[in-house]
């Protein structure tokens, strides 16, 4: 490989994706800081008010929930800023990150549906509906847990003081000041971690992990060989590869809709942890500290796995 080709590979595989990631993190950070500087946190928290009130969650968590419908980076940045300023506790930070599961799902819903629908036709409605149900379930369970784990003072003694609305000029000045300070920390963590994970991927570490998992599915013997092939492709390749295989087997009558949906749900559960580490950790480690990012990903993936497994089990028995 020539030096020019190596440089091109580095640019397309590492340079440009890293610049794009830092750009979106920067935009999220600016939005989060500007909302706080303008004292708009209460105003944008209205979408989640019934849930946050019951769950003893703060206005910051409600605002983050509302923001997550538009930008996951901005939502997480708001939580990180609140935690660093001790506006919310670590317990609420973890719960708030899990609480945002539903709006985060909505961000990916159009992409997921328009990828699945052409390949598996009507089965896409059931599959997407089940994963959507899992997202709703996660949010409701977290709200219930928060009700018992967080003190009621989060609502009764609201931590946000009713400050007068700042002028846009002063708010922008404060936003830029905080942005310059915060972005340096983000770059210090994000760039080396993202670069390290890029080379892990180049050296085939994640491929080896995925193959290791794919080879140890003997406990799924209750599924047909065709279903197993979908799961293996889902884990060892990409979601679209498993979908393509599922679509082909549905079209020629090799598999029924029920078995395809179950195979996709199982593949979803098994492939999520590695993909979360590969794609989610580098940007989470920039917004939160690496140790905290690891904890947040662990909890979010655990709840996600349990909820989707629960929906798969429910569908298994209902569709018998």
Structural domain contains residue 121: yes
pLDDT > 80? residue 211: no
Check residues 199 and 224 and name the one with the higher pLDDT. 199
**What whole-number distance in Å separates Cα of residue 320 and Cα of residue 118?**
26
The residues, any chain, with a CB within 8 Å of residue 285's CB and separated by 6 or more, are 189, 190, 193, 293
Please report where in the chains the tokens 């849930």 appear, as a residue.
51
Please report where in the chains the tokens 């706080």 appear, as a residue.
36
Structural domain contains residue 3: no
Spell out where the chain has E strands.
Answer: none
> pLDDT tens across 138-174, in order?
999 999 999 999 998 655 344 444 445 567 777 788 7
Domain residues for the domain of 128 are: 9-318
Structural domain contains residue 244: yes
CB contact burial 147-183 (16+ within 10 A = b; e otherwise): eeebeeebbeeeebeeeeebeeeebbebbeebbeebb
pLDDT of residue 127: 93
pLDDT > 90? residue 79: yes
**Domains in the chain, number:** 1
Structural domain contains residue 148: yes
pLDDT of residue 299: 94
Structural domain contains residue 2: no
CA dihedral 142, 144, 149, 151 (to 10 degrees): 120
Q: Which percentage of the chain shows pLDDT scores above 90? A: 28
DSSP assignment letter at 222:
T
Structural domain contains residue 1: no
Structural domain contains residue 4: no
Q: What is the mean pLDDT of the chain?
A: 81
Residue pair 235/267 in contact by the 8 Å Cβ criterion: yes
pLDDT-derived band at 247, boundaries 50, 70, 90: confident
**What whole-number distance in Å separates Cα of residue 25 and Cα of residue 111?**
21
pLDDT of residue 112: 81
pLDDT of residue 214: 60
Structural domain contains residue 306: yes
């Amino acid at each position: 490989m020539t030096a020019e080709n190596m440089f091109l590979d580095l640019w397309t595989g590492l340079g440009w994706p890293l610049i794009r990631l830092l750009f979106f993190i920067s935009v999220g950070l600016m939005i989060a800081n500007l909302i706080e500087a303008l004292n708009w946190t209460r105003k944008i928290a209205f979408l989640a008010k019934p849930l946050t009130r019951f769950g003893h969650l703060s206005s910051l968590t409600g605002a983050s929930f509302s923001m997550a419908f538009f930008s996951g980076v901005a939502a997480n940045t708001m939580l990180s800023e609140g935690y660093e300023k001790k506006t919310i506790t670590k317990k609420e930070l973890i719960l708030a990150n899990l609480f945002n599961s539903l709006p985060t799902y909505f961000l990916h819903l159009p992409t997921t549906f328009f990828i699945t629908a052409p390949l598996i036709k009507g089965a896409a409605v059931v599959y997407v509906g089940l994963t959507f149900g899992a997202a709703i379930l996660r949010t409701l369970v977290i709200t219930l847990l928060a009700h018992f784990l967080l003190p009621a003072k989060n609502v009764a003694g609201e931590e946000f003081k009713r400050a007068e609305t700042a002028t846009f000029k002063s708010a922008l000045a404060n936003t830029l000041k905080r942005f310059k300070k915060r972005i340096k920390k983000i770059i210090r963590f994000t760039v080396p971690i993202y670069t390290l994970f890029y080379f892990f991927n180049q050296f085939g570490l994640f491929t080896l992990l995925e193959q290791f998992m794919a080879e140890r599915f003997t406990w799924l013997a209750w599924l047909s060989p065709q279903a197993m092939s979908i799961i293996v492709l889902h884990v060892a390749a990409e979601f679209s590869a498993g979908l393509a295989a599922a679509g082909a087997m549905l079209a020629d009558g090799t598999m029924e809709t029920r078995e395809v949906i179950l195979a996709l749900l199982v593949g979803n559960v098994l492939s999520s942890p590695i993909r979360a580490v590969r794609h989610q950790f580098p940007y989470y480690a920039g917004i939160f500290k690496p140790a905290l990012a690891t904890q947040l990903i662990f909890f979010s993936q655990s709840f996600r796995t349990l909820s989707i497994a629960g929906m798969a089990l429910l569908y298994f028995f209902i569709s018998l």
